[in-house]
Amino acid sequence: MSFADWLFGAPLASWEDREQRIGIAAGVPTFGLDALSSAAYGPEAALTLLIPAGVAGVAYIVPLSLTIILLLAIVFTSYWQTIAAYPKGGGSYTVASENLGRLPGVTAAAALIVDYVLDVAVGISAGVGALVSAVPGLQHDTVAICLGILLVLTVINLRGVREAGVAFMAPTFLFIGCLLLVIGRGLWAMVASGGHPHAVVAPPSASAAHAVEAVSAWLLIRAFAGGCTALTGVEAVSNGVSAFREPASKTAQRTLTIIVALLAILLAGIAVLVRAYHIVATPPGSAHYQSVLAMLTAAVTGRGWFFFVTVASILLVLSLSANTAFAGFPRLCQIVAEGGFLPTFFAMRGRRLVYNIGIIVLTLLAGILLIAFGGVTDRLIPLFAIGAFLAFTLSQAGMVVHWRRKRGPHWHRNLMLNGVGAIATGITVLVVLVAKFTEGAWITALVIPALVWMMVRVKRQYERMERAVRPQPLRLDHLQPPIAVVPIAGWNLVTENALRFACTLTPHVRVVHIHSADEDMPAQPNWQPAMAEAAAQAGIPAPQLDIVESPYRFVIGPILDYVLKLEHDSPDREIAIVVPEIVARRWQHFLLHNHHATALKAMLLLKGSSRTVVINVPWYIKK
Amino acid sequence: MSFADWLFGAPLASWEDREQRIGIAAGVPTFGLDALSSAAYGPEAALTLLIPAGVAGVAYIVPLSLTIILLLAIVFTSYWQTIAAYPKGGGSYTVASENLGRLPGVTAAAALIVDYVLDVAVGISAGVGALVSAVPGLQHDTVAICLGILLVLTVINLRGVREAGVAFMAPTFLFIGCLLLVIGRGLWAMVASGGHPHAVVAPPSASAAHAVEAVSAWLLIRAFAGGCTALTGVEAVSNGVSAFREPASKTAQRTLTIIVALLAILLAGIAVLVRAYHIVATPPGSAHYQSVLAMLTAAVTGRGWFFFVTVASILLVLSLSANTAFAGFPRLCQIVAEGGFLPTFFAMRGRRLVYNIGIIVLTLLAGILLIAFGGVTDRLIPLFAIGAFLAFTLSQAGMVVHWRRKRGPHWHRNLMLNGVGAIATGITVLVVLVAKFTEGAWITALVIPALVWMMVRVKRQYERMERAVRPQPLRLDHLQPPIAVVPIAGWNLVTENALRFACTLTPHVRVVHIHSADEDMPAQPNWQPAMAEAAAQAGIPAPQLDIVESPYRFVIGPILDYVLKLEHDSPDREIAIVVPEIVARRWQHFLLHNHHATALKAMLLLKGSSRTVVINVPWYIKK
């Protein structure tokens, strides 16, 4: 078993694709980790923005969360329909480009690409941040831990989508189970106490909190924008339909339904309980900081072993939430690459049937972000939701056009629904953009258009290439043997081998010698008689010897000039440059050979035409 | 005029070599800067080691200097004879390898290589160090200034040996002139005052200095070892004989004589005056540090404008002393490379007839040292003299054997002289090694053998290659057209172009298609009829279509296996792999193409044999 087999698993044949597909149980952790984990930071983000309003602000968390859940329902409906309409996957990109045109489609793709990369960096660093605040001794190793988790995610995902799903099943279900238990028990206590439950461990700052600011519309808008991060990740399933077991659309829809239902329950439950227990967020970074979910769990269940299991599962799921991006990003890039907007290698499946290049590119980009920000990506969070909501908006708008064109059963109702969705998510984009513009959202507003521009350029170049190489019926007539040019510095077995090969190809062989008068070889060599004699014995036309003087001791330039002139003088012929090359099989010997052959080849590629062909005749030194 | 022409000068033809050669006037700065500048640090090094002995120690500087000058005379005589005996240059390396054998020769070369690299780093950093101690504001830019000087030296030397000589003439002669003036006036004052001259500016610590240590033999030995650094650089002329104007040997001998005579006068004059003026060295790095030459100049001439001109010329010459290494190192490497102990590119002359690779390698190595030590190479000084004296010793010993073999006129006297020289310099190597072993000389003692080992390996590999490719009489009979293999993924103008070319080369063409069953192309393609029809129309044998199934979607591996199997099945045939390749002329487009062609070529070079030939058929995308 090779190391690659051990690390990534044995190669999978293309026909094994079916067995690699995932069902609902693996689908929820694979594509749902991101969406579900956002229950841990979405409400927290909204509540943090409400801190200045004190306990009075907490009351607003319920209507805010309900608005967000409503938005979630609209987005869900849209993606549910998208999956049915576009079973090959691609989500927003496919919907937008098929219905709205090339530019909106590419914009959706660019928005999602940015979102996925941020997702990985923010997810990992949020998890590690929570871990480090629990174990301060690890502070100095933040970046290393982040990169370690990134590497583990990369390797697991390179092992295939099924392995990733299975690997992350346990933490996902532990997280969901714990939170549902907390919510269930909390609601029971609330109902039993007539709406005023007694906290087992009182939230620390609930009594001390005092309002420093009145609740304004602007404050609520900002809190809403913060809470909207809870919706990121919902689009992942629609990008990965092709990863699901047949019937793929149905399996994907069911998975999406379960993810969204769970998310809605978590968001609603957290909102109601936070208000009932009067939990005010603590400022992040302050000495007495505790996460909202930790305070809530402590208030409902106390600080027993269950508290610690719950908090641990939250940390784990946060840092693994990046996995959703690893499932979605490569598939998105593959579909975009098949559309011609990204280099084709994004669409090549690796040994385990996943799109390796996409995974590796995601790792590199996220790794650069993590290193650049020292593993503290707080500042990236403002950039976060814009990409997702821009993609949502374009997808909804695309579906509106889709229904108008298709007019299936209930198309009026569907069109209305998506229209409302498009307007709602569009407004959200604007709200988030305005609310967070100076905090960093402007970066996203710059990066997305830049990506779009790049992708359009890639597409244009592919189209140009496509036109340039369009096949015609195959013709093999009017063939003429090429003129072979053999550059030779001196006679040995290497050059003889090359000359012999040139003579097998064509009767028109020219040996070129670049002569530089110096002490070693003052006069031009005279190889013509020997070549003529050997050719006469073999009964073939004699190779012609051309000697080019090079007073400045340049070698590549004169050969290049010779070839270009020959090409010019023989407009209907192909020129084959036969380059003798000594090949070093050991790297230490690489430096001992001259690399004129390589340099000549590179220059010919730059300056030559399609009629110039380079032939490497290798000679292997026996060890 | 191109940028390269502007920076490095227009290319020089090989026949211009004669005009590029230098005479005595340019020879002294080119090859003498190092030796002459060592007058500035040799006596200083000895005096610094004598500090603990106070004023009493200063008295010993005269006998110490006389011993060193005696050694200089011996070394001079030896190199004077070497130049006559080996007019092609090479100095210690040539003498040792021709008379003592391969290993001593290579050892001398390795010793000199180490010495030259140290020379550049130490020279530049000593000059910059002095500058920085004069202008402390530059402290933070030490490394940048060092690298700047290194770059200037590199460019000037790449412009050719003559330009370098002319560029450094003025500072060299200014330095010599100033020092000779100081010495002359000092001696006059000494004689006039009956041996007890009155200092114009009294050396600062002369009165305060008190002995903390008695003068011991060990102290004197260490002072001697320190002073011996004054002799480094003397061998440079012998390495560069080929750079001198004809008659090269005579010009080189005269240049060497002038350099050594000047150095001897400087060393003797400084020693006598230091004793007469009771100048005790100040500890380097201390707040009241002044260089010995600065104190001496102030004592003789006062602190007028002449003082500052002299001190400035010393700084300049110190930092330019590295130029000698730039003149010597590339020529040494060239001669060693022609002997086969270094890669051949060291022996290629660049556009300005100098050995560019040697210059660049020297710059890189010295640059690495300067960066690694932050431009403070004090710690390298202990490593310094060993290489030079090891080379001296081997050269002298080689001359002893030379005289015994040749037995010309006065051979007995010459043999005696060189024998004494060999013993004296050999003892010096041991003294320096022991005295400075723990201070860093052990590094040199490790690096030189490692270099020797490497060079012997290089030679062996070249010899092996030489044997492997030794030419036999040219034969062109028994030629057979190759089997052409054209790997094709799909039909377009690129692949058609490659197939057409393959058909011009040989009637035996095989088209290989790697088929990987997936959604895009579920069934194997059937190209055979079209190919057969086109071939029939052209009246040539039809290419054969071979389809290879690749369940794991690998492309390179299956083609490689196919070729290796074909090679095995056709033991008497050559296999030409004709690779269609789209060529991007713009780097941005590089990523858009797949690079299977490049990967395939690399794999074939690794796994193939001399019967496997790779043919690139390029296709250029029109812009």
Interchain CB contact of A469 with B (< 8 Å): yes
This prediction has a pTM of 0.68
Strands A544-549 and B575-583 come out as: unpaired
Q: Do B476 and A15 touch (CB under 8 A)?
A: no
Distance from CA of A155 to the nearest CA of B (A): 19
Among B350, B474, B554, beta carbon nearest to A530: B474
Find all residues with CB under 8 Å of A232, minimum gap 6, and list them: A34, A35, A38, A115, A119, A384, A385, A388
Residue A522, exposed/middle/buried by CB under 10 A (0-12, 13-18, 19+)? exposed
Locate tokens 């602007």: which residue? A218
How many CB pairs below 8 A link A and B? Answer: 231
B586's tokens: 């713009």
Predicted local confidence at residue A14, as pLDDT:
67
Residue A463 — φ and ψ, nearest 5°?
-65, -40
Q: What distance in Å separates the CA atoms of residue B580 and residue B570, rounded to the nearest whole number?
A: 24
Predicted local confidence at residue B85, as pLDDT:
82
Q: What distance in Å separates the CA atoms of residue A317 and residue A235, rounded to the nearest whole number?
A: 18
* Closest C-alpha to A392, from A62, A112, A182: A112
Locate tokens 């350099």: which residue? B259
Interchain CB contact of B349 with A (< 8 Å): yes
**Chosen from B354, B504, B563 to mutate, greatest number of chain A CBs within 10 A:** B504
Interchain CB contact of A523 with B (< 8 Å): no
- Residues A29-48 pLDDT 10s: 888 888 888 888 788 888 88
Q: Do A14 and B517 touch (CB under 8 A)?
A: yes
Q: First CA to last CA across chain B, in angstroms?
A: 29
Find all residues with CB under 8 Å of A182, minimum gap 6, and list them: A273, A296, A297, A300, A301, A310
Among A471, A479, A553, beta carbon nearest to B504: A479
Helix (H) or strand (E) holding A322: helix A322-338
- Residues A169-197 pLDDT 10s: 888 999 999 999 999 999 999 998 887 88
Interchain CB contact of B89 with A (< 8 Å): no
- Residues B91-145 pLDDT 10s: 788 889 889 989 999 999 999 899 889 888 888 888 887 777 667 777 778 888 8
Among B464, B551, B606, beta carbon nearest to A14: B551
Cβ-count burial A41-67 (b if 16+ within 10 Å, e if not): bbbbbbbbbbbebbbebbebbeebbeb
Predicted local confidence at residue A325, as pLDDT:
86
Interchain CB contact of B196 with A (< 8 Å): no
Q: What distance in Å separates the CA atoms of residue A487 and residue A509, rounded to the nearest whole number?
A: 11
Predicted local confidence at residue A137, as pLDDT:
75
In percent, the amount of chain B with pLDDT more than 90 equals: 13
Predicted local confidence at residue A71, as pLDDT:
87
Q: What distance in Å separates the CA atoms of residue A189 and residue A171, rounded to the nearest whole number?
A: 27
Q: Do B537 and A501 touch (CB under 8 A)?
A: no
- Residue A551: DSSP 8-state: T
Residues in chain B with CB shorter than 8 Å from the CB of A621 are 464-465, 468-469
Predicted local confidence at residue A207, as pLDDT:
47
A559's tokens: 């050969």
Residue of A nearest to B481 (CA): A504
Among A535, A605, A618, beta carbon nearest to B608: A618
For residue B28, pLDDT over 70 is answered with yes
Taking a C-beta distance cutoff of 8 angstroms, is the pair A613, A577 a contact?
yes
Among B493, B500, B554, beta carbon nearest to A476: B500
Please give the average per-residue pLDDT across B24-40, as a whole number: 86
Interchain CB contact of B526 with A (< 8 Å): no
ipTM score:
0.71
Q: What distance in Å separates the CA atoms of residue A286 and residue B508, rounded to the nearest whole number?
A: 78
Q: At what angle do helices A24-50 and A322-338 cross, to 10 degrees?
A: 110
Q: What distance in Å separates the CA atoms of residue B319 and residue B316, rounded to the nearest whole number?
A: 5
Question: Got the DSSP string for A137-199?
Answer: GGGGGHHHHHHHHHHHHHHHHHT-HHHHHHHTHHHHHHHHHHHHHHHHHHHHHHHHTTT-PPP
A302's tokens: 């106390």
Q: What distance in Å separates the CA atoms of residue A183 and residue A165, rounded to the nearest whole number?
A: 26
Residue of A nearest to B537 (CA): A477
In this predicted model, which residue has the larger pLDDT, A373 or B512?
A: B512
Taking a C-beta distance cutoff of 8 angstroms, is the pair A271, A37 a contact?
no
- Residues B481-496 pLDDT 10s: 899 999 888 888 888 8
Q: What distance in Å separates the CA atoms of residue B505 and residue B491, rounded to the nearest whole number?
A: 20
Residue B593 binned pLDDT confidence (cut-offs 50, 70, 90): low
Residue of B nearest to A14 (CA): B551
Q: What is the largest CA-CA distance in chain A?
A: 113
Taking a C-beta distance cutoff of 8 angstroms, is the pair B572, A33 a contact?
no
Residue A183 — φ and ψ, nearest 5°?
-65, -45
Predicted local confidence at residue A338, as pLDDT:
86
Partner residues linked to B582 by β-bridges: B619
Residue B207 binned pLDDT confidence (cut-offs 50, 70, 90): very low
Interchain CB contact of B496 with A (< 8 Å): yes
Q: Which domains does chain A have, with CATH numbers?
A: 3-463 (1.20.1740.10), 483-620 (3.40.50.620)
Q: What distance in Å separates the CA atoms of residue A565 and residue A561, rounded to the nearest whole number?
A: 6
Taking a C-beta distance cutoff of 8 angstroms, is the pair B156, B322 a contact?
no
Predicted local confidence at residue B74, as pLDDT:
86
- Residue ranges of chain A with pLDDT lower than 70? 1, 13-19, 90, 133-134, 205-212, 284-287, 351-353, 377-379, 382, 517-522, 584-595, 621-623
Most confident of the ranges B56-65, B206-215, B449-458, B590-599: B449-458
Distance from CA of A541 to the nearest CA of B (A): 10
Locate tokens 């202008």: which residue? B135
Q: Determine how many CB atoms are found less than 10 A away from the CB of residue A609.
A: 14
Average pLDDT taken over every residue of chain A: 83
Q: What distance in Å separates the CA atoms of residue B122 and residue B144, rounded to the nearest whole number?
A: 15
Q: Do A494 and B551 touch (CB under 8 A)?
A: no
Among B13, B476, B500, beta carbon nearest to A534: B476
